[in-house]
Chains A and B, each alone.
Chain A
């Protein structure tokens, strides 16, 4: 997918998820983000699930302990009342937080480094080049340090002399590698000059070309987004938890907004599913 519609999509979804406290919106966002992660990243995307569960529970349970508004008192801790409304609000806030985290994860899966670079490169070509060079250098430096430290260890440097020996060995390895990186940088600079760097006004190239499907998905995103924003302005996402939770509106206007928002959030899942069906169809045709 082309980086621009993808970036617009995720920015919009994350912002809307962050600022709506309507339970239907939250549930839709949570469902969309979890399904999106599952479809885009597979099993690997959920390797850190305990973290999300802990964040969810902590956020949900802390709210009723610090907020004491609401009508329905469940029990007292000392003089403080723990209310059902605060607990519900806690779950809603936890839903928002976790869904936003999951959306970020989805975004990471779709907008890989080179796509982000492309987005930067259009407006800030020099910054883009610096970032590109830096993303190469950092892992390189880390790897070099690891090899150096192993080599030194193999020659007995810093072994058998306790913590101090090891620390001073590490310090030397670090400084040696810093100066080595600087030398490498001189060579890189020569290579840049040899390839005409600074000779003319630079252009910025990226291997992304907007195709028909990008335009189509861009249009769909824009349409759904417009509907949702209209809904937000008209107050479909307003919801009050205190003193007692309001009823969830179910009039045709609200339902339409819910469906539009749901479709927007499920776009990654739907396009991926459509892709799979198409593939299956193609395969059976072959």
Chain B
């Protein structure tokens, strides 16, 4: 018998005419791993919360949800504890102050005796490798550790069904990789049934038995990962969802048509390599045809068209934004950069343009003052602590997008804070546009020169609504409000966030928060933007839009320094990439040389094509090169 049976479920929030869920039906067999996928606001969270009766939202629900054949509303507390629920934000779910107490919390609630609790806490901690930090305070844990703890403290209650609501959305790639490997182990070693809402499909694809695609509250596709593409194609849904799929699937999609038999859709990088190898080495009749149909219909340029329907396309927006900023900041020295709105990153035609970015972007234009320079900067948080930055020297060329990559604790965020003047290095010099930091007197650095977006975008706002926040911000900064409002209207319209003005910042989705925060930073019209993990917690659609915003800012002459874990995002937007390791710059270069030179720290597309195709870094490049090979034959 199935463990969960959902049939004809519809749900409406009170006061809303639009149903959050429409006629959702699916069954879950014991031991299945199901991923529910869909753009933000599609009803993933509502669906998951309805299954867990303690978290069910208020509203009008129709249809039924049966857990082991019984309606969930009628389950006893003990039966309901067989369903575990892990939420999105690692921080908010933690109740107690120590790790051991957190693990025991649920068991205490069930009123179990100490001996039983001791045994279960011990085995759970051992299984998840928590022993090392078992006695620590919960506040001292990293985001990834917190989420592992949340998972472990739910699993110490020994649930039969695990519900996860975007558990990796707030985590960096290392943290989410740990989380996913824990989930994979649980599912395969204990047969735990898992239903997970997720938008990071690369990882989810590898561990799921089935993907359920949700849009506007309705199930539009339900298939095993390898067959999802076929289902999407037959439903005519490709255009929209392709950009969200993992790299191997996207490559497969572009290089094959429906009639292409003999190949199953690759899901992992390993399968993707096999597929590429077979397609690129053996002469293949169908390839030419496939490539043709690919150029005709599904051109790489239109890949970005997966952005949710907006009045104007992303390219338009990019130009408009660029114009807006150029108008606003006319008379500045960097005006000269503006016209080069070349279709950035599509400049990879036929492999020749590959080199163009390398030399030029790397050092900026000759004779220019770099936006940010660090000379031998060393920093530590406490006198007896170790150096976080060890005599680092680094410069970000003006008018470029520069991405700083690196693992946890490599000093990325510290570097950003030092650059913004929030932390003082004990050694070395920091210059912004050729001026030492201390020469910017009385906070003048933050009025028109530099602005920083912290990792937690919510800290940017102090108001009850975006609108009220801007007014207060104008009062506090002494910005003339009329002008700021005009500027704001313009930016908001261009960034498609005008409709969010009346909302409370905390009610926005991760992507919306980031966009609103960036828009607020832009009010002071800074020439240098320092951004900490701007793409964190975003789905593929929001990321594509964000990338366009950054490119527009570049066209307007802004310098953007991004600290990120997101290799694919960096590859897409950056002119210069640098790898921070152990408090110093380990390597630096244009994205192509940078990622092609890395073996592990690189994009899935590059890992997939390494040794098969020369130096392809993005999915688009892999596709182009493949086409070329087959055409040549």
Contact = CB atoms under 8 A, between A and B. Distances in A.
Interface of A: 113-114, 117, 129, 132-133, 135-136, 139-140, 143-144, 147-148, 150-161, 165, 168-169, 172-173, 175-176, 179-180, 183-184, 187-188, 190-207, 209
B105 A157 contact: no
B290 interface: no
12 contacts: A136-B137, A140-B139, A154-B420, A154-B422, A158-B477, A160-B447, A187-B89, A197-B105, A199-B81, A200-B109, A204-B108, A209-B118
Nearest to B476: A157
B93 A154 contact: no
Contact of A200 (B93, B94, B110, B460): B110
A152 B84 CA distance: 39
Interface in B427-477: 442-444, 446-447, 450-452, 454, 456, 458-464, 472-473, 475-477
A188 B109 contact: no
Interface centre among B89, B118, B442, B459 (most CB of A within 10 A): B459
B454 A195 contact: no
Interface centre among B87, B112, B139 (most CB of A within 10 A): B139
Contacts of A153: 422, 443, 446
A172 B472 contact: yes
B482 to A, nearest CB: 18
Interface centre among B118, B442, B458, B460 (most CB of A within 10 A): B458
B110 to A, nearest CB: 6
Given A188-B95, A191-B87, A196-B106, A150 B454 contact: yes
Contacts of A201: 111
Interface string B43-54: 000000000101
Contacts of B202: none
A179 B154 CA distance: 27
Contact of B446 (A140, A154, A187): A154
Given A114-B98, A196-B109, A207 B118 contact: yes
Contact of A156 (B92, B98, B108, B447): B447
Nearest to B420: A154
A151 B454 contact: yes
B524 A144 contact: no
Contact of B93 (A129, A191, A196): A191
Given A129-B96, A155-B477, A199-B109, A176 B524 contact: no
Contacts of B450: 154
Interface centre among B101, B111, B442 (most CB of A within 10 A): B101
A199 B443 contact: no
Given A155-B473, A165-B476, A194-B54, A113 B97 contact: yes
Contact of B451 (A154, A159, A165): A154
Contacts of B443: 153, 156, 159-160
Contact of B109 (A135, A172, A197): A197
A195 to B, nearest CB: 4
Given A151-B459, A207-B118, 11 more contacts: A136-B94, A136-B97, A151-B460, A154-B450, A156-B443, A156-B524, A157-B473, A179-B464, A192-B105, A195-B109, A199-B109
Contact of B478 (A129, A152, A160): A160
A155 B520 contact: yes
B77 interface: yes
Nearest to A165: B476
B117 interface: yes
A114 B417 CA distance: 34
B342 to A, nearest CB: 31
Nearest to A135: B97
Contacts of B54: 190, 193-194
Given A196-B80, A203-B108, A155 B524 contact: yes
Interface string B127-165: 000000001011100000000001001100100000000
A176 B462 contact: yes
A168 B109 contact: no
A133 B96 contact: yes
Contacts of A175: 462
Nearest to A114: B98
Nearest to B449: A156
Contact of A195 (B89, B106, B139): B106
A141 B462 CA distance: 15
A133 B77 contact: no
B107 A205 contact: yes
Contacts of B214: none
Contact of B521 (A155, A160, A165, A184): A155
B105 A195 contact: yes
Interface residues of B, number: 73
A202 B108 CA distance: 5
Nearest to A134: B97
B452 A136 contact: no
A71 B518 CA distance: 80
B462 A139 contact: no
B447 A136 contact: no
Nearest to B523: A155
Contacts of B154: 194-195
A136 B96 contact: yes
A97 B161 CA distance: 59
A139 B139 contact: yes
Interface in B107-124: 107-114, 117-118, 121
A136 B139 contact: yes
Contacts of B112: 203
Given A129-B96, A172-B462, A157 B109 contact: no
A129 B98 CA distance: 11
A144 B459 contact: yes
Nearest to A209: B118
Interface string B491-514: 000000000000000100000000
Contacts of B98: 113-114, 132
Contacts of A168: 475-476
B447 A187 contact: no
Interface string B201-227: 000000000000000000000000000
Contacts of B139: 136, 139-140, 143
B85 interface: yes
Contact of A180 (B100, B137, B506): B506
Contacts of A209: 118
A169 B96 CA distance: 31
Contacts of B157: 195-196
A184 B91 contact: yes
A159 B446 CA distance: 8
Nearest to A140: B139
A26 to B, nearest CB: 36
Contacts of B150: 191
A196 B121 contact: no
B126 interface: no
Given A194-B54, A195-B109, A147 B91 contact: no
B62 interface: no
B117 A203 contact: yes
A203 B95 contact: no
A140 B138 CA distance: 10
B260 interface: no
A187 B170 CA distance: 15
Given A154-B420, A184-B92, A187-B87, A205 B104 contact: yes
B55 interface: yes
B105 A190 contact: no
Contacts of B96: 129, 132-133, 136
Contacts of A190: 54-55, 87
A150 B106 CA distance: 37
Nearest to B83: A194
Contacts of A151: 452, 454, 459-460
B364 to A, nearest CB: 24
Contacts of A132: 95-98, 101
Nearest to A136: B97
B462 A154 contact: no
Closest 6 CB pairs of A and B: A159-B443, A199-B77, A187-B92, A195-B106, A156-B446, A191-B93
